[in-house]
Amino acid sequence: MYYDAFKQLKLRDTDLAPVTSPLVGFNSQPEWPMGKIILLVKAGSVVKQVEFWVLKVPSTYNLILGRRWLHAMQAVASTYHQVIRAEEKAVEELVEVRINTESPGKFFLLGSSLAAQERTEMVEFLVANIEVFAWTPYDMPGIDPSFFFHQLNVFPNAHPVIQRIRRSALNHTEVVAEEVKNLMEARAI
């Protein structure tokens, strides 16, 4: 953290703990921090304690968050887009509501904070519109590819690379072939 940002947070120099080693900057010169401080940092719904080393050097940045912080936040940095993306955790517990006891894979997840009346109304609405839900790719044959499709974002001038052949066990090959056949019949692929 740079000293200007430290002061903008209305922190005092006496809040700093001593450091025992210098930081080596981008110019390969060692720079002794004024000290270090642990602060709570909130990103999305995640709050973590982060140790900052405070430097009194000119900078266009307020602070630099390192790889350890990104890892602790389970975030991914995109230098191209200049953003950080992190998975958002559910804010409340979810309750599983089974629609049909004969089909264990068919269920809805509803928020546990719903009142009993709201939950009943929601389940009634979902059951009344059950035909719009696709539980497997086979439940939605013939979807027009222009409506929804997957496209790889690949550099157009890139040359394809032939990878080595990976052999599967015979029983895996049969299962994969059957699944591909089913998906093709359903026109999912």
Q: What is the pLDDT of residue 16?
A: 93
Cα first-last separation, the chain: 51
Query: C-alpha distances in angstroms, 152 versus 159, 164, 180, 186?
Result: 15, 21, 20, 22
Domain boundaries, the chain: 3-86, 94-133
| Successive 10-residue mean pLDDT values, the chain, 189 residues | 90 92 80 91 82 88 82 77 63 82 82 90 90 77 69 78 83 86 79
pLDDT score at 60? 82
Q: Could you give the CA distance from residue 54 to residue 48 in angstroms, rounded to a whole number?
A: 18
The secondary structure element, H or E, covering residue 180 is helix 170-185
What is the pTM (predicted TM-score) of this model?
0.43
